[in-house]
Structure formats: C-alpha cells, structure tokens
Amino acid sequence: MRDATKSVHHPSVDDSGYAALGIPTHRASTIVFPDAQSYAARGQRDLDSYSYGLHGTPTQRVLEAQLASLENGKRAVVLPSGQAAVTVVLLSVLMPGDHVLVPDTAYPPVLGFCRNFLEPRGIEWSIYMPGVGAAIQELVRDNTKLIWMESPGSTTMEIEDVPAIANVARAKGILTGIDNTWATPLLFKPLDHGVDFSMQALTKYPGGHSDVLMGSVAVNDLALRKRLRDTMRMIGFGVCPDSVQLVLRGLETMAVRLAHVGKVATEVASELAERGLGEVLYPALPTSQGHDIWKRDFSGSSGLFSVVLPKELEPCLDIALNALRYFSIGASWGGTRSLIAPMSIKATRQTHHPRNERTILRISIGLEDPADLREDLADFFATLSNEAVARTA
C-alpha cells in the first residue's frame, strides 16, 4: 500500500476493553457493503438498518430508540426541527381532498403551513376551540383524516381532553397527532392515551441548552412509521449526528431539569396569581383552563407559563423588559436560561376572545437561582406599575 492509499484507508484498531459511557458520534454519508450481493439487495434493508447517512447512523438509532422507549412507543423518527416533525406528519397522512382539524391554539407556524401550503394543494383544514373534548365529533367531516392537537395550547395554555378526542377519532377511523413539546414524554405520554403520532420539539427541553434544532415523532404502528420514513426520504430530511449527540446529552439531565423548573414555575406562577399582576395561564394552577384534566393525565408541569398583561401596564412594557437582568427576551424556550417573550396572538387566532387583544407575557423558567428570578420579576412588575402610575399622574 502506497502513502496516498495509506492516507485514505484507515488501519483497524482493537477496541476490545473500550467501554465508555458516551455514545460515539458516527458521521456518514456513504455506507459501504461487504459484497456485491448485499449492495444489490440494499433496498430490502429494513428501516432500522443502514443504507445511507441521510436515513440514520448508529448515533441516531440510539436517540430514536431512547425516545421510543420514553414515549412507550414502538419506534420514533427524528427530524431537522419541531416544525418539520409536524409537517411530515401532516404530509404523510393527508392527500388532496382530505381534511384536517387543528386547534385554534396551535403553534402558529403550523396554522401557516395549513393556510399557505396545504390549502393551495387542495387539502382542507378547519380549526376547533381548545377544550372541545368529545364534541369534536360534530366538527368531523366525511373526508377528515387527521385530528391534530396541542396541549397545553400555544401561549394561552389550554389543556385538551386528549383521550376523549382520541376515542372519537378511533371510532371513526381518523388518525390523531399531538404536539407534546410543553410536557415532553416525561410528564405526559400521548401514545398511552390512544394518540397515533406523538410529536415534540427536541429543540426545547430535550436539547435543553438553546443550541440545537430537532424534532421527533413516536408511533406504535409500524405502518405509520413507514409512512413517516417514506415522506422523509422523498423530501430529503435527515439530521446531523452532532446535533443528535447534543440531544442525547440533554436527555440525560432532562428529568432533573424538568422537576426543578416545574417546581419553580409553579411557585412563581402562584405568587404572581396571588398578587393579581394579571391573569396567569398555567395548567398547574386550579384557575387555569383544563386544570382537572391536567391533573388526571399529566404527571407534572414544565417551566413555561403565561401572564396576560393588564391593559394599563402595556404602555410601559418596553421599559420594563429592557431593565431585566436575568431573564432574556426571546421566544425559543426550554433551555437553561430564563426567558420572557411578549406575545401577540391576535393575528393567529380565528375565534374571538377578549385576551386576543392583549399582550401576553410568555415566561420560561430556567436554571438560575430562583431568588434572582423572583427579584428580577418583582422589579419588572414594579417598573411596569410605577411607570404606569407616573403616566396617569
């Protein structure tokens, strides 16, 4: 073997006795085959094996298996983002002429996908109100193929009666899917409640450090897994093994992080509610819509809640936001850093509610010392009220 050849043909080394706790990062586009026959038969390889880097490496298979196990599912697929995970479910189920039901409170880019991508391609969609439960039956059409759910709903945090909706769908042969990003499968397991597709944005709590984008969908039906994988292959969706590695690392601490942020968020949200600083929307509070269903179906709460800002405090919002010391201003939650995002939902909601007209603060509790966070929030609301008083004086 000459030098140039030696340079590209790696020597094999003995790895016996090498037992490490970390998962190796396998980067690959090309997969090679031991002989001509297995190359010719590569199309028959099953979906758990390897044919091309785009369709998965052993690093990715570890994450998929770990997610499937956490979800009580048979298989999981991973996608380049949470949004990609939702759209691949919709594209795998819906054909022109079909109809999908989505909640009014869906993650806004999902509504955008329905309006601007599905609708021009002849796929019908309509919205339902959060908390609809078994009454979804009346909204089902002859051509309804999928009911999409999100619980709690984006920004306004309503809990859905997932088992009731799944029962109606099952009886009519309609598939169901849910965006379970807020709870993660640690706090709610949709597949156990009869849902067909359990989706989450791994970008949030599983990644956990605001530095990776990924989504996943778990299923119990291998035929549905095949439909997802077929769609992904045709679109060309794959994930980077380095990102997979970040999610694998994040998962190891997720249970501890969630328990902490859930506890702090419950305390802080209750304090804000008691002080009457605006309507607090958080499923763990008895005053929040769907609290009883949350208690029945969920094993805990995560660190994201919302506060509807009283109208008289709105004019001073920018001043108060700019004075925050520990909370950052930003949207993509679930990381180690606490965030506040002022949200306006008016443009995305079809059904009228008085709070659609208001600014809603979406607060994500991170891993800072809770005393610092309380101080920051106390100063924040003091600035809002003092400035408001000064303005009216």
Ligand X SMILES: *Cc1c(COP(=O)(O)O)cnc(C)c1O
> Contact positions toward ligand X, by CB under 6 A?
81-83, 107, 154, 179, 181, 201, 203-204, 213, 215, 332
Instruction: Give yes or no for a cis peptide into 152 (omega within 30° of 0).
Output: yes
Question: Which of 167/216 has CB closer to ligand X?
Answer: 216
Half-sphere exposure (CA, 13 Å, Cβ side) for 302? 27
Question: Which of 167/231 has CB closer to ligand X?
Answer: 231
Question: Which of 107/188 has CB closer to ligand X?
Answer: 107
Question: In 10 A of CB 140, how many CB atoms?
Answer: 17
Smallest separation, CB 242 to ligand X (Å): 16
Smallest separation, CB 287 to ligand X (Å): 22
Question: Which of 165/313 has CB closer to ligand X?
Answer: 165
Residue with tokens 């996608």: 79
Question: Which of 92/167 has CB closer to ligand X?
Answer: 92
> To which H or E segment does residue 106 belong?
none
The SS3 assignment for 181 reads coil
Question: Which of 83/167 has CB closer to ligand X?
Answer: 83
Question: Which of 51/332 has CB closer to ligand X?
Answer: 332
Q: Which residues of 316-333 are buried (b: 16+ CB within 10 A; e: fewer)?
A: bbeebbeebeebeeeeeb
Query: In angstroms, rounded to a whole number, what is the distance separating the alpha carbons of residues 131 and 160?
Result: 5
Question: Which of 213/309 has CB closer to ligand X?
Answer: 213
Query: In angstroms, rounded to a whole number, what is the distance separating the alpha carbons of residues 261 and 366?
Result: 6
Smallest separation, CB 84 to ligand X (Å): 7
Smallest separation, CB 333 to ligand X (Å): 7
Question: Which of 349/384 has CB closer to ligand X?
Answer: 349
Rg (CA), the chain: 23
Q: 138: which 2 tokens?
A: 């009346």
> Which region holds residue 155: left if phi is over 0, alpha if psi is between -120 and 50, else beta?
left
The SS3 assignment for 306 reads strand
Query: In angstroms, rounded to a whole number, what is the distance separating the alpha carbons of residues 83 and 199?
Result: 10
Smallest separation, CB 121 to ligand X (Å): 21
Question: In 10 A of CB 144, how many CB atoms?
Answer: 21
Residue with tokens 């048979």: 74
Question: Which of 277/297 has CB closer to ligand X?
Answer: 297
Smallest separation, CB 179 to ligand X (Å): 5
Smallest separation, CB 364 to ligand X (Å): 10
Query: In angstroms, rounded to a whole number, what is the distance separating the alpha carbons of residues 88 and 318?
Result: 38
Smallest separation, CB 355 to ligand X (Å): 19
Smallest separation, CB 360 to ligand X (Å): 15
Query: In angstroms, rounded to a whole number, what is the distance separating the alpha carbons of residues 305 and 338?
Result: 12
> Which region holds residue 11: left if phi is over 0, alpha if psi is between -120 and 50, else beta?
beta
Residue with tokens 């979804």: 136
Residue nearest to ligand X (CB): 82
Question: In 10 A of CB 253, how many CB atoms?
Answer: 15
Smallest separation, CB 201 to ligand X (Å): 3
